[in-house]
């Protein structure tokens, strides 16, 4: 069966960059844009050219150097903005002007102070101007999810008539629920001509940005707007990596394709964190430090026997070199033995028992047992440092990003090695299970 293709519109450099603590200068935005191209996104929204000289320069530089994806620039629905956006974009191989205008009564009344009729005319006129400059024009009715449906349809019809080829429906304030957003998209899809692409742009104020985006795709949207690490205004935008991997892991429910090269997701996340200094929360899906970590003994034991027991996707599939078996107080002998093996030690049952006993005492006192702690334990258990190879003593402490870059016997193979158990190990395994309960 032919799977429908979803256009991935990345707005990390526009909506994402607008969020506190995420601003980037021109060279930084260029580095990020290069990584987004490697990642295989279809559209890069490079900035909001009228917003500042820096934004203009960034859009212009990206338009001139990033050749494969469409490069979009944002503009309010007015002449000055649209012309400025076009100046920045005109060097692109495939430029797109993205015009937005609020359509909800609350925005019309309090922010724009215009009537619905004025809004309708402004939307149509601005799209006509954009279309006279650029063949590819996108329109967003800001705060669409709080807009009167009848009026929303009127505006959308007017901008399609004016030449808009993509209609992006923003849940600007993160207010919508998945079923509700899906119904809205389905309604719009049914009323608009097939040649027009319907797009979703969801914010995460209620933690539903990804769920809403997937619901929109199910209802006929063929473009999603999203950001790396889900950065963006307030609680952020829909996370690109989560949407892509949801479709990748569950094609039975979401039979859609994207051009994203999933192995580039983690490098993109790391680069963005490095550039902005804004770290990813540890338990963030796909790209968080703990996204592939397993500490509980029963989980570790299952993982070592067959990763599919607790892993719905491999860390390698999203560009993380290896999953992390975190040694903590819930870990079992099995994981402790494997980590020791990775450090170059083989223990018989008696030795491992002794090290494990000391490990449990230590793990009760500190949250996470790092490699240097383990080395000290081994040294103490053996009674002398003489038997520990010097290169092992020189091993740096595992921390953050460097962990993923280090080479280990496990990482070398690209897949975890799963030790084969003999019947004699059975008792050990039982104990591991107890530690995980």
- Residues 184, 189, 190, 194, Cα dihedral to 10°: 170
Those residues whose C-beta lies under 8 Å from the C-beta of residue 320, and which sit 6 or more positions away, are 266, 291, 292, 404
Ranges of H-type helices in 97-202: 105-107, 116-133, 149-162, 178-191
Q: Kindly report the backbone phi and psi dihedral angles of residue 318, in degrees, each rounded to the nearest multiple of 5, phi listed first.
A: -115, 15
Stretch of 7-15, 35-43, 72-80, 152-160 lying at the interface with Zn ion (CB under 5 A): 7-15
CB–CB of 35/264 below 8 Å? yes
Q: How many residues bind Zn ion (CB under 5 A)?
A: 1
Q: Based on CB atoms, which residue is closest to Zn ion, 107 or 334?
A: 107
Of the chain, the end-to-end C-alpha distance in Å amounts to: 43
Q: Based on CB atoms, which residue is closest to Zn ion, 15 or 81?
A: 15
Q: Based on CB atoms, which residue is closest to Zn ion, 15 or 143?
A: 15
- For helices 149-162 and 178-191, the axis angle rounded to 10 degrees is 40
Q: Rounded to the nearest whole angstrom, what is the least distance from the CB of residue 172 to Zn ion in the complex?
A: 6
Q: Rounded to the nearest whole angstrom, what is the least distance from the CB of residue 175 to Zn ion in the complex?
A: 13
- For helices 240-249 and 265-276, the axis angle rounded to 10 degrees is 170
Q: Could you count the other beta carbons within 10 Å of the beta carbon of residue 430?
A: 10
Q: Based on CB atoms, which residue is closest to Zn ion, 145 or 273?
A: 145
Per-residue binding letters, 151-170, with Zn ion (x by CB under 5 A):
--------------------
What is the residue whose two structure tokens read 């844009």? Answer: 33
Q: Rounded to the nearest whole angstrom, what is the least distance from the CB of residue 203 to Zn ion in the complex?
A: 6
CB–CB of 241/253 below 8 Å? no
What is the residue whose two structure tokens read 């009344």? Answer: 109
Q: Rounded to the nearest whole angstrom, what is the least distance from the CB of residue 52 to Zn ion in the complex?
A: 18
Q: Based on CB atoms, which residue is closest to Zn ion, 18 or 323?
A: 18
Q: Based on CB atoms, which residue is closest to Zn ion, 16 or 95?
A: 16
Cα 286 to chain center, whole Å? Answer: 7
Q: Rounded to the nearest whole angstrom, what is the least distance from the CB of residue 87 to Zn ion in the complex?
A: 23
Q: Based on CB atoms, which residue is closest to Zn ion, 227 or 331?
A: 227
The two beta strands, 166-171 and 293-294, are unpaired
- The H or E element containing residue 276 is helix 265-276
Q: Based on CB atoms, which residue is closest to Zn ion, 178 or 328?
A: 178
Q: Give the C-alpha separation, 226 to 248, whole Å.
A: 16
Q: Rounded to the nearest whole angstrom, what is the least distance from the CB of residue 412 to Zn ion in the complex?
A: 42
DSSP class of residue 203?
Answer: B
Q: Give the C-alpha separation, 360 to 203, whole Å.
A: 44
Site for Zn ion, residues 354 to 383, rule: CB under 5 A: none
Q: Rounded to the nearest whole angstrom, what is the least distance from the CB of residue 39 to Zn ion in the complex?
A: 20
Q: Rounded to the nearest whole angstrom, what is the least distance from the CB of residue 49 to Zn ion in the complex?
A: 17
Q: Based on CB atoms, which residue is closest to Zn ion, 15 or 322?
A: 15
Site for Zn ion, residues 290 to 309, rule: CB under 5 A: none
Site for Zn ion, residues 9 to 28, rule: CB under 5 A: 15
Q: Give the C-alpha separation, 283 to 290, whole Å.
A: 5
**The token pair that represents 416 in the structure block:** 């975890």
Please return the burial class of 287, using the count of CB atoms within 10 Å of its CB with bins 0-12, 13-18 and 19+: buried
C-alpha distance from residue 101 to each of 77, 107, 211, 291, 358 (Å)? 6, 10, 25, 38, 64
**The token pair that represents 51 in the structure block:** 């917003």
Q: Based on CB atoms, which residue is closest to Zn ion, 15 or 42?
A: 15
CB–CB of 36/11 below 8 Å? no
Among 292, 365, 285, smallest CA distance to 326 is for 292
Q: Residue with CB nearest Zn ion?
A: 15
Q: Based on CB atoms, which residue is closest to Zn ion, 15 or 55?
A: 15
Check binding of 138 to Zn ion (CB under 5 A).
no
Q: Rounded to the nearest whole angstrom, what is the least distance from the CB of residue 98 to Zn ion in the complex?
A: 11
Interface residues with Zn ion (CB under 5 A)?
15
């Amino acid at each position: 069966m032919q799977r429908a293709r979803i256009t991935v519109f990345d707005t990390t450099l526009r909506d994402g960059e607008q969020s506190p603590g995420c601003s980037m200068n021109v060279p930084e935005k260029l580095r990020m844009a290069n990584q987004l191209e490697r990642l295989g996104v279809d559209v890069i929204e490079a900035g909001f050219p009228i917003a500042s000289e820096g934004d203009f320069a960034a859009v212009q530089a990206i338009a001139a150097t990033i050749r494969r994806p469409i490069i979009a620039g944002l503009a309010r629905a007015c002449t000055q903005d649209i012309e400025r956006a076009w100046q920045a974009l005109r060097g692109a191989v495939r430029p797109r002007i993205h015009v937005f205008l609020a359509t909800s009564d609350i925005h019309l009344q309090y922010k724009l102070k215009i009537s619905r009729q004025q809004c309708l005319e402004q939307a149509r006129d601005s799209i006509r101007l954009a279309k006279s400059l650029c063949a590819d024009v996108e329109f967003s009715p800001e705060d669409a999810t709080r807009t009167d449906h009848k009026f929303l349809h009127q505006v959308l019809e007017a901008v399609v008539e004016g030449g808009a080829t993509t209609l992006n429906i923003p849940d600007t304030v993160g207010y919508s629920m998945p079923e509700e957003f899906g119904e809205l998209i389905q309604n719009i899809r049914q009323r608009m001509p097939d040649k027009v692409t319907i797009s979703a742009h969801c914010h995460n104020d209620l933690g539903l940005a990804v769920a809403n985006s997937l619901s929109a795709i199910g209802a006929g949207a063929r473009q999603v707007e999203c950001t790396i690490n889900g950065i963006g205004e307030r609680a952020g935008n829909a996370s690109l990596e989560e949407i892509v991997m949801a479709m990748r892991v569950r094609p039975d429910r979401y039979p859609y394709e994207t051009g994203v090269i999933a192995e580039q997701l983690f490098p993109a996340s790391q680069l963005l964190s490095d550039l902005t200094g804004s770290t990813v929360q540890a338990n963030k899906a796909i790209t968080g430090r703990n996204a592939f970590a397993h500490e509980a003994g029963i989980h570790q034991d299952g993982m070592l026997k067959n990763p599919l027991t607790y892993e719905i996707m491999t860390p390698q599939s999203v560009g993380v070199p290896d999953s992390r078996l975190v040694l903590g107080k819930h870990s079992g002998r099995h994981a402790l033995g494997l980590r020791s093996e990775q450090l170059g030690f083989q223990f018989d049952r008696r030795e491992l028992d002794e090290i494990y006993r000391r490990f449990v005492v230590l793990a009760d006192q500190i949250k996470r047992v790092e490699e240097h702690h383990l080395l000290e334990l081994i040294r103490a258990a053996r009674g002398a440092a003489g038997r520990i190879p010097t290169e092992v003593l020189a091993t740096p402490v595992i921390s953050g990003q460097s962990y993923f870059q280090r080479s280990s016997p496990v990482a070398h193979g690209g897949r975890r090695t799963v030790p084969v158990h003999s019947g004699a190990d059975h008792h050990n395994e039982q104990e591991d299970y107890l530690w995980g309960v």
